[in-house]
Structure 1
Amino acid sequence: MNTRPRPRRIIGLAAALALLGATPSRANDSTAAIGVGGLTLTRSEAIRLDQEDLFISREQVRVHYVFTNTTGRDIETLVAFPLPDIVQGPITRTPDFAAELNFRTLVEGQPVPLDLVQNASFKGRDITARLRDLGLPPSAGGDAFSAAVNRLPPAAREALLREELILDGGNDGRTQLWDALWTLHTTVTRRQTFPASRSIRVEHSYAPLAGGRIGGALDPDQRRTPEFRQQRQSQCIDESFLAGLDRRLAARRGEAPAYAELWLHYVLRSGANWAGPIGDFRLVVDKGNPRSLVSFCGTGVRRLDNRRFEVRYRNFTPDRDLDILIVDFAP
């Protein structure tokens, strides 16, 4: 077993901003945003989504829906909050979805319970039951996972190592650390009844799992790289955004690092399981600090104030997910 410090797996925005005035950072020191979306239904041609009002900021995502049952009978169906699969490993942060997302759902103004179900697979095989028998959680985030592995009989631990289900994570000076190498599958679900020939209001909110990096990758000398071209396309970075960034950089006279990027990813495409397009779709993006820059893809974007931007569509069928870039500048 080797001895090494536990690697940091994510740079939070607050930490990134603190570093802006302290230490230069490489442009490729980044953490990906974890793409989460809204509620989805089991496929139904009888339930129509009349309205979707989506608000996204760095602190919260809020979605207000109006669903209508177009039939003369009650319909009970599965409503899911899909979460991305996490391929766990030594450089992958495994979120504590329940604690970090803080998700909350209201139906007609009343809170409803959600069931969080987690399973694990490895090389195409479901290993959930095996982990349960060993007392190991499917989610390998936090020190509790290493403690659980350390409690295993040596033969059981060696078998997991031999099969490459776990990896020696080094020693932090107090205890032996371990990394899981299986894939975590997370689903949040509930059963929902849609009353016959009626509309109901559903509200859902959670904290986004943001990514980002400390400046450099948007600098003028980086704008011919494939990475920048890909980012420019996904976040619709236009010339006016770059001009605003360049003015800020010029004012700092080359001091580095000058800015931090925050990335928000929202899954729009996977939820279209209702009858027809979304009747009335509204998106509001709040960049937070008025001094920050923001870029995302949308047509007819309207500025509401010095922080918020709005787009509205009628009979909307999403054909791409939403990637938001917020650039924060050092004081």
Structure 2
Amino acid sequence: MRMQSFNMACAITALAIGGVLANDSAAKISAGGIVLEKTDKVRMVSEDLYVSKDLVKVRYVYENITNAPQDLTVAFPLPKIAAEDVPYSYSRHFENTDFIEFSTRIDGDNVEPREIVIIRSQDGRNVTEFFKNKGLPLGPFNALWSYNLENDYDNIKMITLSQDLREEGLLIQDKDGYDRRAWSTEIYFVWQYRFEPGKQVTVDHQYTPITGGQFFLGDVTYDGWSFKKDFQKEFCASESEWTALEKIAGKQQTPLIVDLGYILQTGNNWAGPIGQFKLTIDKSDPRNIVTLCWDGKLTKIAPTQFQFEASNFTPKQDIVMAVTQGWRE
């Protein structure tokens, strides 16, 4: 099936890389971290998802389809945050991992999920204990992870730390001799819930998506790499959309692009397809341009909003979209 790109009107200012959370998933906690699991006991009756660059909110309705109570560990995972991307892509630094103001309600009652942070090496090893033993921050946006690895640490400590990271395989030299961070951060919000037989349960999540930024570089190439080709591939931007972006970028001194996303495919871990699925994409301002890959028809329902609805929906792709705006606050 053909992936489609949707131009949601006209304008750009800031681009942020980042943040998406994911559909709820049944899970278990093991020595290696959280493992998402399928369940054939509870189905997702419906999902109503709203995505904008400033707010993501989702309402699920679940139903236990068995004749007995089902005790499940439920996990809501953020996408992996690569340490190498943080200095380039994210505009703010945080001292902890609780930076998205994540909230959960079950049948209207507030729930405090447990936050679990896992640091994983490039080759897949769980190196969280290494970070803890070295007194290193688990938060992916801590100021320590600046480009030069030299913020609040004296030179001797940084030399020792860099050596420790190399020995653990977490600093790897590239072909030009530069150290590259070779780990990523995984963050999960986890809670336990008993699904009673035949009863529908409503779960609401709301959070501020992770945002960062990169410059709109236009049609530039370097050593075989093309910004235009990468952008068009990732966000399914058509030639007409690209032309519109170039025109807007030409009017701005420092045009940026905001990108964000949402992991949908974990919705396949529940019993059967999603009964009723609704996706609303909000570009926040009529002057903005939004490009994304989406295998379905997005219908304009408001000056800034586009919507997709389906029955018995099986997610086959995650959402990654770019928002560009041509005005300054």
Which TM-score applies when normalising by structure 1? 0.72
The match for 2:71 among 51, 76, 94 is 76
The structure whose RCO (Cα within 8 Å, separation 6+) is larger is 2
Return the TM-score normalized by structure 2: 0.72
RMSD: 3.8
Matched residues, percent identical? 25
**1:210 pairs with 2:211:** yes
Aligned with 1:285 (options 270, 281, 292): 281
> 1:33 aligned to 11, 15, 18, which one?
18
| CA positional deviation for 1:185 | 3.3
Structure 1 pair 196–267 and aligned structure 2 pair: CA distance change class (3 A): same
Matches for 1:90-101 after TM superposition, within 5 Å: 91=87, 98-101=97-100
Residues 149 and 157 of structure 1 are in contact (CA less than 8 Å); yes or no, is this contact kept in structure 2? no
Higher helix share: 1
**Residue identity opposite 1:262 in structure 2:** V
Deviation at 1:216, TM superposition (A): 4.2
**Equivalent residue, structure 2, for 1:50:** 45
Give the number of aligned pairs: 287
* Structure 2 residue matching 1:136: 3-state secondary structure: coil
Would the alpha carbon gap of residues 279 and 226 (structure 1) be closer, same or farther in structure 2, given more than 3 Å must change?
Answer: farther
Give 1:115's aligned amino acid. Answer: R
The equivalent of 1:302 in structure 2 is: 299
Q: Name the SS for the 2:310 alignment partner.
A: strand
Q: Matched residues in 1 for 2:181 and 2:153: separation?
A: 10
Shift of 1:327: 1.8
- Name the residue aligned to 1:142: 142
The residue identity in structure 2 corresponding to 1:315 is N
Q: Which amino acid aligns with 1:311?
A: F
Provide the C-alpha distance between the structure 1 equivalents of 2:102 and 2:270, rounded to a whole number of angstroms: 22
Tell me what 1:66 maps to: 61
Q: CA deviation at 1:207?
A: 1.0
2: CA distance between counterparts of 1:38 and 1:97?
23
Deviation at 1:120, TM superposition (A): 3.0
Aligned 8 A contact 2:16 2:258 in 1: no
Where do 5+ consecutive residues of structure 2 fail to align?
A: 1-11, 27-36, 172-179
Deviating more after overlay: 75-84 vs 294-303 = 294-303
2: CA distance, partners of 1:117 / 1:315: 32
Partner of 2:167: 163
Q: Contact conserved, 2:22 with 2:264, CA < 8 A, in 1?
A: yes
Q: Give yes or no for the alignment of 1:273 onto 2:269.
A: yes
Separation (CA, whole Å) in 1 of partners of 2:53 and 2:140: 25
Gap change, CA 1:34 and 1:59, over 3 Å in 2: closer
The Cα shift of 1:238 comes to: 3.7
Give deviations 1:109-135, integer Å, cap 9, x for gaps. 111111112233445544433443443
